Amino acid sequence: MGIQFRKDERFRENFSYVNSDAGVLRFPFPFGEDRYMYSVNIEPHIPGGPTPAFAHAFDIDEHYIAECQERAMVLADDPGRCQVLPHMMPAQWDTLELLMESLAADYPEHFSLDKDGDTWRWINRPLGIDQSFVFGKPETLPCAPFEYITRQAQGDFTLQDQRDDNLFVDGGMVTTQADWSLDFDIGMSFHEWHGPVPLAHETGVFDRALRFLLRLQYGHPVRRLNWTMTINPRLDTSPENYPDWGPDRTTVTPENVAEKVHLRVELQTLFRLPRSNAILFGIRCYLLSLKDIERVEKWRKRLHRVLTTLPPELAEYKGLTRYRDTIIAHLAPHDDGAELSPGIQPDQTVLPPA
């Protein structure tokens, strides 16, 4: 049986976002230890691991249709959220091929791809798309190939061009970002793009990451988890729309913290592309409310410990300072200090009632 999609969710204004019990347990909880410090934490992106979110090259879940609808709304308001510099056209076709082939192979009940030479037929059943086109000829698609296929995927994507022993953000589809702007960052080098991150530069994290990524091989993608927190289940927390979401941080109280605060996790994947030699950087966003985190004993205890020991610089960078103490106070009565198993996997297969 295929994925049961939720079609009526909203990630803005009158929020209506719910994770099923299975959706809660498949959440890629980012903390494998009781303390957190920014690190490279890259591993091979191979099927399997502690969460079903790692099972396929690109994760599709129950929120797929709603998230694609949200992307379309963001782009209608601000088409600049998708930009690709002219020299990146080969990388656009690389991305289209990678996503279409991966989705068709991993979710055949929902997607299919038929090839007759350069004439391809792409079927996306959840979104009702049946498109024939000629690979390599952008005029045969409704829009540029990178925009066309990333409109049909969850999460954000950037294209990194490799030159002069560096990586440059030379394209992207960015509608679900955690307070950064493609319009501002496009064309930046690797260190320029990561400039605002505290503590990591001093410890050489980004120097090591760049050296590693410059050697990334085709057919050997890698992944890592990153995290922050968001008030309300809002995907678009861009600088451009800060007036819409920034004030939400002032609305957290002891009474509403469990419903309002959401752990926001990014499954970041990096793929070397075959024709262009560019790197596709996928940034897949997941949201889980504090109320649902509390249903998993290991996660609620570990989150309490991580937030209690989080360096002030990281708390400030992630925008948690206004409400971190409220979360800690809420979780403290539920943490008995018992030793927890290492790793991010939940410690249960059944959840108590919400």
Active site residues: 224
Element (H, E) at 106: helix 89-106
Cα 206 off chain centre by? 19
As given in the structure block, the two tokens for residue 11 are 């990630």
| CA–CA separation, 169 and 99 (whole Å) | 19
Q: What are the CA-CA distances from residue 85 to residues 172, 188, 239 (Å)? A: 9, 12, 21
| CA–CA separation, 80 and 91 (whole Å) | 19
| CA–CA separation, 268 and 221 (whole Å) | 11
Write the DSSP assignment of 126-139 as a string of letters.
TTTEEEEEETT-GG
Do residues 211 and 162 touch, judged by C-beta distance below 8 A?
A: no
| CA–CA separation, 185 and 216 (whole Å) | 22
- Name the residue with tokens 């409400």: 323
> At what angle are helices 324-331 and 297-309 packed, to 10 degrees?
140
Q: What are the CA-CA distances from residue 43 to residues 48, 212, 350 (Å)? A: 12, 11, 28
Which of 193, 261, 255 lies closest to 232 in space, CA to CA? 261
Alpha helices in 145-189 (DSSP H): 145-150, 182-185
Do residues 167 and 190 touch, judged by C-beta distance below 8 A?
A: yes
Element (H, E) at 272: strand 261-272
| CA–CA separation, 74 and 66 (whole Å) | 13
